[in-house]
Structure 1
């Protein structure tokens, strides 16, 4: 996790420096906005990865002598069968197609996507950790 955190931190710094220089020299709003959004997105991922690393420590795959069965720290519970990935994928496809075809299909896609995402988030509430 630490390697990924450093990777995204470096990416965020790159986009931050590049965006600052671009804003000073180019004065072009579309490029400045694109570099700013890239900086913010990579910075968000970097912050998340640093937080996970500090909370859980090194993962088994980060250690050279780890066994396959080693599970360090917390582990997530994934149910054996769930229809929520299919529902969410169908909702994403309909929403994306609706952007091209029309508002009516976008609304249907969002109506299918929301229960899929809701199910992903709340399907493990009854599982004891």
Structure 2
């Protein structure tokens, strides 16, 4: 987690410096706003990763002398076959097309998207782990 935190901290610092220089040299408010939003988003990710690193400590991936079995922690159940990814993708595509084509297609896409997302969220409720 520490490596990822440093990566996003560097990205946030880059966007912060770029925003300041761009704002100073340019009168373009759209570019300044986009760079500022990029700085804020990468800063939020960096803050989250630093917080997680402080809470959980080093992971085996952070150490050079770690062994493969050390990383075997909590096991996650993945179903053998699920149609929810296809349903979610189709709903997202129809909703995106509906933004361009009309409200009727967006509503159809949203009607397909909601069961897909709910299926993703609740498909493992019956699993014992």
Query: TM-score, normalised on structure 2?
Result: 0.75
Contact 1:90 1:112 in 2 (8 A): yes
Which structure 1 residue ranges, 5 or more long, are not aligned?
A: none
Shift of the 12–102 alpha-carbon distance from structure 1 to 2, 3 Å rule, reads: same
Instruction: Find the residue that maps to 1:111 and give its secondary structure.
Output: helix
Instruction: Give the structure with higher Rg (CA).
Output: 2
Cα distance per residue 1:14-36 (max 9 Å; x no partner)? 11221123223312111012112
CA shift at 1:94, angstroms?
1.9
Matching of residues 18-97 of structure 1 within 5 Å: 18-71=18-71, 75=74, 77-81=76-80, 82-97=82-97
Query: TM-score, normalised on structure 1?
Result: 0.75
CA shift at 1:123, angstroms?
4.5
Cα distance per residue 1:69-101 (max 9 Å; x no partner)? 3236x6362332444333322222222232333
Distance across 1 between alignment mates of 2:44 and 2:116? 24
Q: CA RMSD in A?
A: 2.7
Aligned length: 128
Distance across 1 between alignment mates of 2:83 and 2:51? 30
Instruction: Find the residue that maps to 2:67 and give its secondary structure.
Output: coil
Distance across 1 between alignment mates of 2:32 and 2:70? 45
Deviates more, 1:18-27 or 1:7-16: 18-27
Which structure 2 residue ranges, 5 or more long, are not aligned?
A: none
CA shift at 1:45, angstroms?
1.8
